[in-house]
Amino acid sequence: MFGSLQTHVCPTTHFKCANYFCIPTDKTCDFKDDCGDGSDELQCKHRECWHGEFKCKNSECIRPGYLCDGEVNCVDGSDEENCEIRMVIGSKLDLVGDFIKCGGSHSVHSTFWCDGWPECIDNHADELLCNMTCSENKFQCPNGRCINDANVCDGQCDCLQSIDGDCADEINCTAFYNKTDDVVVCTTGSTLSCWMPEGNPSRCIRQKYICDGQNDCFNGFSISDEFGCDKPNSHLNDEFFKCKDGRWLPFKHRCNFKAECLDGDDEADCEVFLPCDEDQFRCASGECVKSENRCDGRTDCWDKSDEIGCMTVPCPSQHWRRCEIGKQCVPIEKWCDYAVNCMDGSDEKNCQYRLCKNDEFQCDSGQCIPLEYKCKKYREEQMGCVDKSHLRNCDDSKCAEDEFKCHRGPCIHQSMVCDGQLDCDLTWDDEDNNCYFMCSNIASGCQCQDVHINCTGHGLDQFPYDVEKEITFFHLGGNNFSEGLHENTFQHLDRLVYLDLMNNSIKHLEPFLFSTLWRLKTLNLQNNKITILQNCSFMGLGQLTGL
């Protein structure tokens, strides 16, 4: 038995661990011990951390603001070690290496101290003990703190609020945004809406700071204030839309219910909107969102109209109920269902949960499910515990004839085996040894073996779109793709971990060209003729270790 494990050959899509397990190749060198013995994290080449980043013990790099913030951000948890609380006293900064204690549990790298952006979330201590004279293009708060001038009248208070609630950087700002029901809506023609990652408020960027070479949509997503500032090559004009403000946006951003041009002209003269479904709410822009997202405390409409006027708007029907705090409404059937739906958690308070019957399994949360659901994993999440506790301690569980037993895990239906989705959470053996894939040679004459395809030196000037989606290694060197790579070229090849484009006379890289290649680890662009790199050319390559 032991000898057969030693000689077992993993499929080419997988890596063989030192303990003889097979794991998907893209699970190696991801800072996680996926093998169980750590062998998938040995001999990895990780990038050096940038100045100001914190280097975890496993060589992972994280933003400085995440150090000692009470949440584990390094996979190995090393960002939360040695985080005893110290205080900032008087004008003395408490240094721990290159990091400064905020006064609570947070620490900030010295590079980010007095840079105009508060990293000490609770008390802004990193911006309080700074020089009293602000430099050009800075605004000075009453307490002496300097903030970027672009932060003035952006809809968010960056200076500390006074006792009466006033904010020095948000006074006399009616020309730049309107505030209704605590919802900030940027003024079309004067400011650009900068949406931020979930949990962070959006900002309004004034016209003078658009395309000024400084990204003021800090940590934002979608269209940045510095995106589209350079005119695309003439042969790409038909693929871009020119805003009145002078920026060039991809045509896919036109008529998408999101006013991303300063004057909103990307949403002008659009087709008549189709009616929304009965369970949907129509935003002021015409966009349709789920009715349950109306007045839930999160903006789902780009124009934020789903969160305006909520205190006077009743819940969608008698089958909905308003949460204790704020304006959020939640369907009655989601109250006391063992899952928190209200942002304040009030839907799971004062619940009278029944005792489970003899033919039921009691989840860790107290939820009762049919006993036959124990150690069975279904695609339908409602068929099991909300907290997934029915999938624990399943080593000795027995499976039916039409089911597959995950190694040291639950049973799944045979239809979930070799379907391209990982359903055995810890071992992935449902997509392992029995799922060999052999690619086929394509019309362009490229050679294929397992999940490797070789199109090197075939004189191609157009991308071979008949390549199968299972391909993980793609050799395309020595062709002529000077004009043949576009935004959707690699859209169906999201399993690629290696892509060779060397010696292809490539002159430019379009925005979002690689945006779907989130698994890609090696990209070879040697010996091309690239003279233009537009914004977002490398967006999506979060796993890249070699370029």
Q: What is the pLDDT of residues 150-159, one digit of tens each?
A: 889 999 888 8
Measured CA to CA, the distance from residue 335 to residue 349 in angstroms comes to 9
Query: What's the sign of the alpha-carbon dihedral 52, 53, 56, 60?
Result: negative
**Three-class SS state of 165:** coil
pLDDT for residue 65: 63
Answer whether 414's CB lies under 8 Å from 403's CB. Answer: yes
Determine the Cα–Cα distance for residues 529 and 393; give it in Å rounded to an integer. Answer: 57
CA distances from 401 to 282, 414, 430, 431, 528 (A): 48, 9, 15, 19, 56
Single-letter code of the amino acid located at 444: S
Alpha helices by DSSP H, listed for 77-224, are none
> What percentage of the chain exceeds 70 in pLDDT?
82
Q: Tell me the whole-structure pTM to 2 decimals.
A: 0.47
What pLDDT score does 298 carry? Answer: 77
Half-sphere exposure of 162 (CA within 13 A, CB side): 9
For residues 212 and 218, give the distance between their C-alpha atoms in angstroms, rounded to a whole number.
14
- Residue 459 CA: distances (Å) to CA of 116, 466, 468: 53, 17, 20
**Coil, helix or strand at residue 539:** coil
E-strand ranges in 27-106 read: 54-55, 61-62, 95-96, 99-101
322-375 residue pLDDT tens = 888 767 788 888 888 888 888 778 888 888 888 999 999 999 888 899 999 999
The structure tokens listed for 335 are 């109250």
Residue 85 — very low, low, confident or very high, per pLDDT cuts 50/70/90? very low
Could you give the domains of the chain?
356-434 (no CATH), 436-546 (3.80.10.10)
Exposed e or buried b per residue across 263-285, where buried means at least 16 C-beta atoms within 10 angstroms of its C-beta? bbbbbeeeeeeeebeeebbebeb
Contact, 330 vs 321, CB < 8 A?
A: yes
**pLDDT at residue 16, rounded to an integer:** 86
pLDDT digits (tens, 9 = 90+) for 395-432: 888 888 888 888 778 999 888 887 767 788 766 677 66
DSSP assignment of 365-417: TS-EEEGGGTTB--SSTTSS-TT-GGGSS-TT----TTEEEPTTS-EEEGGGT
Closest CA relative to residue 179, chosen from 199, 164, 162, 201: 201
Classify 184 as helix, strand or coil.
strand
The structure tokens listed for 8 are: 């077992």
Write the pLDDT tens digit of every residue in 371-390.
999 999 988 777 888 888 89
Using one digit for the tens of pLDDT, what is the confidence trace for 525-543? 999 988 877 777 887 787 7
Q: Which contiguous run of DSSP H or E holds residue 57?
A: none
